[in-house]
Amino acid sequence: MEALAAQVINFLVAVLSACGLIILWFDTSFFIDYLKLFRLTRFTYIEEYEKELFDNPDIKFLDFVLVKEPNFLNKLLACPYCFSLWLSAFCCILATGNILLVFACYPLALFFYFIFKKCQKNFS
């Protein structure tokens, strides 16, 4: 019984970790801020993106990079469904060690993410 409770807690940790990382990735500018902090801007389109922000303040960095370089990796990183699948798989396997729980972790992480987005939209 204790092993089952531990597995459930690990599963919930995986789901909430994946959801939190999805929120960080798509709804904050932490990626840009850390690239600037560690002075890795010359490898990215950050300067061009900041110039574009003056003309189009609604554009997100991931969408801007996708327009500049529409390759598979950028499509994967800009799509919430694709990114969530691989992130949920990573978090679930890391937390539980069970690859089959990915099929439950992925929809729950997306569900919590979209609940967050709905709440964010309603309160802003």
Instruction: Give the tens place of pLDDT for each residue, 67-108.
Output: 999 999 999 999 999 999 999 999 999 999 999 999 999 999
Is residue 14's pLDDT more than 90? yes
Q: Return the pLDDT at 58.
A: 86
Q: What is the pTM of this model?
A: 0.88
Is the pLDDT at 1 greater than 80? The verdict is no
Nearest alpha carbon to residue 31 among 73, 77, 68, 71: 77
d(CA 6, CA 39): 41
Triad 58, 19, 35: Cα angle to 5°: 55
Q: Which amino acid is at 62?
A: L
Extract the tokens encoding 12: 């919930």
Distance CA 7, CA 13 (A): 10
Residue owning tokens 């597995």: 7
What is the total count of domains within the chain? 1
Inter-residue contact 13 to 95 (CB < 8 Å): yes
Task: Please give the residue range of the domain that contains residue 26.
Answer: 2-123
- Diameter over CA atoms, the chain: 59
Query: Which 3 state secondary structure label does DSSP give 38?
Result: coil
pLDDT digits (tens, 9 = 90+) for 106-115: 999 999 999 9
Q: Quick one: residue 39, left, alpha or beta (phi over 0 = left, psi -120 to 50 = alpha)? A: left
